[in-house]
Structure 1
């Protein structure tokens, strides 16, 4: 079990488009996502991975984006019923899909392990303002610390979380 060694006091690791994003959890050993084998960019030698969760803090901006999404979804449903799927097209994306695509982390440890983003999941109707990012490999047992430096729109946010892996 990892212990948080240092992090922003409120766990806010990024502010993007007027929305605070908080570090919400870590799973140090998880299976690789099924699609990693299909990616030419992913090293097939990976056998383990880890994941962390980010969550947007609800505020006026998220409420407005949710309201806009609801309106678009209702309009799409009406068109689907009236004109069919070929005319209506795909359902509108959840607003957090594009939002979380812009947030990532640079992951390092005290051993110099090279970590690679291998996938994740953004937004669902059950958790519309949550994202889980998966990196490989899982930290080696010998690693003492894992550091997540957060990036929004390609720029470091200045916020990081350091986890003590020995606890």
Structure 2
């Protein structure tokens, strides 16, 4: 368990179009299955979630209207398979993690979480912070451009 020390009061760290993206959590833990590092690898996991509202519902409705019965059937079959999703609506959000020990954190995979429509992400970064790191700093981007929003996290409650 980590402690968020500083973050935007509403936890909104990015905006894609008119959809606000919130920091839903951060944890120092072990990597789940189906990411780019072996399951159980010590890592940092960052959770993002879109603020559900008119924009996300409208987007989902537009996508649903373009799907044929065959597409829906194929998606149902694909959803039964184990493994990572094809696309996340939040994939344009980037996260850079740094700490007070100059550790280099690398993106090591992601998974969509929640109901599978792409508005909730779990991002995995390796390595885990060294035991003597006292602060993680997260900077957020959309399409590579800074959002001007960041947060600091105390990773010591491991």
- Residues 1:32 and 1:137: Cα distance change in structure 2 (over 3 Å): farther
Q: Residues 33 and 119 of structure 1 are in contact (CA less than 8 Å); yes or no, is this contact kept in structure 2?
A: no
Could you report, residue by residue, the CA deviation over 1:29-80 in whole angstroms, capped at 9, with x for unpaired residues? 122644525xxxxxx9x9421211100001211110111122223xx21xx2
Q: Which has the higher helix share?
A: 1
Aligned counterpart, 1:17: 17
Aligned-residue RMSD, C-alpha: 2.7
Q: Structure 1: state its 5+ residue gaps.
A: 38-43, 92-96
Q: TM-score, normalised by structure 2?
A: 0.80
Q: 1-side partners of 2:113 and 2:154: how far apart?
A: 29
1:17 CA drift (Å): 1.1
Aligned counterpart, 1:113: 103
Please state if 1:65 is matched with 2:65.
no
Q: Structure 2: state its 5+ residue gaps.
A: 76-86
Q: 2-side partners of 1:47 and 1:123: how far apart?
A: 20
Aligned counterpart, 2:91: 101
From the CA coordinates, give the structure whose radius of gyration is larger.
Answer: 1
Q: TM-score, normalised by structure 1?
A: 0.76
- Specify the SS of the correspondent of 1:61: helix
Could you report, residue by residue, the CA deviation over 1:85-116 in whole angstroms, capped at 9, with x for unpaired residues? 8xx9964xxxxx35311111010000000000
